[in-house]
Amino acid sequence: MSGSENGGTGSLAGLYENYADWLLRSLVQRYGSPDAEDLTQDTWMK
């Protein structure tokens, strides 16, 4: 799904689509895999 299909890149869904993988990779490097997935989800929920 592209950014235009979910309301553009300014929408929360668009931001999640564009940056979730990057955020997850960054958090895995810093905190390890199990915690990183939880932190990624928590980031977007808040």
Which of 15, 13, 12, 44 minimizes the C-alpha distance to 27?
44
Cα separation, 26 vs 17, in Å, equals 16
For the chain, which residues make up each domain, given as ranges? Answer: 12-45
φ, ψ dihedrals at 32, nearest 5°: 95, 160
Question: Alpha helix (H) ranges present in 1-46?
Answer: 12-31, 33-45
What SS3 state is found at 10? Answer: coil
Q: What is the pLDDT of residues 1-46, one digit of tens each?
A: 444 454 455 788 888 889 989 999 999 999 888 889 888 888 877 7
Give the model's pLDDT for residue 9. 55
